[in-house]
Structure 1
């Protein structure tokens, strides 16, 4: 089932490589300047303009990369994380089941990391 939006996490030092890869592999990428820890933009894939938001330090040294559209090239966060890992050869993380507003969501701390060792599910207790 296609997710309504996509969110992945990459290390801060890989953000430039990520934005370069997105522009080269998927289409035109327009990014506004950083506004403190947030950078917004638009990724154009075919006929779809996909709003994009990058939040630095979203989880320690990890940045959140959020594609606010159901029209991404990926069905799920995991599909996106796999593609980005293949493109960058750097660790990428995503949630196991997407995001939920439910406070008692059993998947809230369950994550998948993709790196040179493969795909591993782990508990990521993100400190605010």
Structure 2
């Protein structure tokens, strides 16, 4: 089932929003000029609203695509594509998460890196 939006986390030391914009331009369409409000950067990639939050969780940058009209059905598909295109470690939730799933499920993540793909426990709070 297609997720209503996409959120992945990219390792900070390896990538910045300009590299992400180049990848998104290929995948989604030309990126508008980035605008910055506080620490948050925003643009449109094609017609998809994009938010980039550097160091959202420790050394990890958040990439949020606010649409269900991306080429990816879910966070994992997007994370795989980001890793392939950018050659950086990417983390994402294994599926949609909501409060009803409980705190333990909130710490379940998929890690995609040069070592492959694995489920990890990542305590983000």
TM-score, normalised relative to structure 1: 0.87
Is the Cα contact below 8 Å between 2:51 and 2:65 reproduced in 1?
yes
Supply the distance in 2 between the matched residues of 1:29 and 1:105 (Cα, whole angstroms): 36
Q: Which moved more, 1:109-118 or 1:95-104?
A: 95-104
User: SS at 1:30's partner residue?
Assistant: coil
CA RMSD, 1 decimal:
1.6
Unmatched segments (≥5 aa) in structure 1: none
Unmatched segments (≥5 aa) in structure 2: none
TM-score, normalised relative to structure 2: 0.89
Supply the distance in 2 between the matched residues of 1:98 and 1:122 (Cα, whole angstroms): 16
Supply the distance in 1 between the matched residues of 2:19 and 2:30 (Cα, whole angstroms): 15
Supply the distance in 2 between the matched residues of 1:73 and 1:61 (Cα, whole angstroms): 27
Number of corresponding residues: 123
* Bigger fraction of residues in helix: 2
Paired residues for 1:4-15 under 5 Å: 4-13=4-13, 14-15=15-16
Match of 1:17 in 2: 19
* TM-superposed deviation, 1:19: 1.7
